[in-house]
Structure 1
């Protein structure tokens, strides 16, 4: 069974041989092939080579286009500085003014960094021959709005000027949908939505202001025939009622959340991924402890489930630790939620 088949069948709750492995790799992948983060984030050929090499070496079932949160931001007019040992740095075009006319209109096929991601997906499609799931990526409406306004400004806006915040998020939503559809057209079977800033707001603000925009993005992606993965770093326990109404197919679960509670909230139809602590559990763990933690997470989450850490695999993680994370897990090990 190929990684792609395994991945799709788990989402559809059909029989599979082992639990799919979908760790998030960025700086780790770049360094694994002797490159660096600057090259990984700026050159799709490096990103593709790094992810494919890691998939082949560690037994990963998905290749990803994630690199940093500033693809769309650059399209809107930000200036990007690449850093060899860290994520790119970006300016914030609306940091000093609430004037949407200051923003450029991103075109996924003409905006340099957005088009670079599209080319990555096309290259995956060409090279992997459907052996792996291909993950596209967009920023969620709140995350992109925060990138444009700067985080502290955006959080104040949510309280002081919610009307502007919604207008800005709706503006970001249009670009997010266009970018997602372009990636789907290029071969992505799944689109990840990164909306980490949402973990910092109250349930009321999330459900009244942010969740409606996310829901429109999810609907547009699914209408285009792709699966949707939501990634909100941090504690999302207080947001679960709103998240459960989004209609996503896959939910990343960070290490500070209880997988059992998340499963209860999300029901049996959503694939849960995670939720080992990337630092304490993976970077500094031992292979045996990591594998035992994978088994524990799977038992707590039940099917459908993907093996993953709570977030990105850290740079410097020993190879044997990532191999332990990706060590095949039989479905027979989960008896709590037998849905596959």
Structure 2
């Protein structure tokens, strides 16, 4: 039976066999470029963001639309200073917390009022209302607790705090605070109509911290977010940047229904841990998508499908966010690879 994009994605996430492997595009920067507007203007307009994402879907025919505006939305809503370049995603220029001991002075955000969070939620509502019966809509809840805490404190400062370990009570208070902010946005995305939400705990991987630090400072807080979303009846994805081979077992154990796999992670290991427990999303290289030929993208996508699609539980997609200059022919190649090599035969 031929499924539509929504049916295909839901079947895969429920660990059943769809007609073929579904495809996700992590395309917020690509959508901004296609809009023709300055990125700063684009990321402050729900109408522009929704129009561009729907336009990409009509152009490429992918199955999952991941809605976000970068990695700084919640950090800005909590007091970080953020700049919006005309041709690149926003970035934090000043943390909200100069002294870890001042963590109790931080003010919790309201997703319906603060910074660009209302823009994200309105984008979700617009896309869901227009095409949500046909395509799977994932409203991202921005950063995971560890990464958000690092942005609030300043990444280098936070890593030094962890290394010295002198203020563990304040560190965990900051992580508790960040977790509550993440949960608020995640639940708001579901209330806005998203079929699922997701978090990118981009800084929590072995590229920056040890497995032991991950288990103490990241995993329990990610798990709390996941459990809260699931208790509310929602679906959630978890992404961590870099080579997560050493912690992918724990990423699966958070209970997230979707685990997003970076290109550097050993996919066979991830599949072994995820089989029958969660759906994997990935892991075609965003760098290759931006710079290699369409033939290479087809090869990488086919390899991903061969490694991880067996028995179901794979959404084909980039291993992280796609660059704004990703050529159309490579996106078409990614989607076509699922149609050519990702078909399940009964």
TM-score band w.r.t. shorter chain: over 0.9
Task: Report 1:76-225 matches (<5 A).
Answer: 76-90=78-92, 91-138=94-141, 139-159=143-163, 160=165, 161-199=167-205, 200-225=208-233
Aligned-pair CA distance for 1:125? 1.8
Offset, 1:183: 1.1
Higher mean alpha-carbon deviation, 283-292 vs 305-314, is at 283-292
Is residue 47 of structure 2 the alignment partner of residue 45 of structure 1? yes
Post-superposition CA distance 1:278-320 (Å, at most 9, x none): 11x2112221221122111011112210111111111222211
Contact 1:58–1:323 under 8 Å retained in 2: yes
Given that residues 26 and 67 in structure 1 are in contact (C-alpha distance below 8 angstroms), is that contact kept between their aligned partners in structure 2?
yes
Query: TM-score, normalised to structure 2's length?
Result: 0.91
Of 60-69 and 50-59, deviating more is 60-69
Distance 2:263 2:183 in 1: 29
Mapped partners of 1:290, 1:332: distance in 2: 13
Q: Is 1:58–2:66 an aligned residue pair?
A: no
Q: Using the alignment, how far apart are the partners of 1:292 and 1:154 within structure 2?
A: 40
**Root mean square deviation, CA, Å:** 1.9
1:13 lines up with 2:15 in the alignment: yes
Counterpart residue number, 1:251: 259
CA–CA separation in structure 2 for the residues paired with 1:78 and 1:183: 22
Contact map agreement 1:17 1:331 (CA 8 A) in 2 = no
State the distance in 1 between where 2:341 and 2:295 align.
19
Q: State whether residues 137 and 192 of structure 1, in contact with CA within 8 Å, keep that contact through their aligned partners in structure 2.
A: yes
Question: Could you list the runs of 5+ residues in structure 1 that have no partner in the other structure?
Answer: none
The alignment covers a number of residue pairs equal to: 336
Whole-Å Cα distance in 1 between the matches of residues 297 and 256 of structure 2?
28
After TM superposition, the structure 1 = structure 2 runs for residues 286-305 of structure 1, keeping only pairs within 5 Å, are: 286-302=293-309, 303-305=312-314
The offset of 1:60, in angstroms, is 1.2
Paired residue secondary structure (1:197):
coil
Contact 1:44 1:120 in 2 (8 A): yes
TM-score w.r.t. the length of structure 1 is: 0.93
CA deviations over 1:53-85 (Å, ceiling 9, x no partner): 111101111222211122211221223321111
Decide which moves more: 253-262 or 268-277: 268-277
Contact 1:18 1:330 in 2 (8 A): yes
Cα distance in 2, alignment partners of residues 10 and 240 from structure 1? 20
SS of match in other structure, 1:99? helix
Moved over 6 A (4+): none
Q: 1:243 to 1:13 in 2, by over 3 A?
A: closer
Ranges in structure 2 where 5+ consecutive residues have no aligned partner: none
What corresponds to 1:314 in structure 2?
Answer: 323
Q: Distance in 1 between matches of 2:248 and 2:30?
A: 30
Give the stretch that moved more between structures: 317-326 or 77-86: 77-86
Whole-Å separation in 2 of the counterparts to 1:254 and 1:187: 27
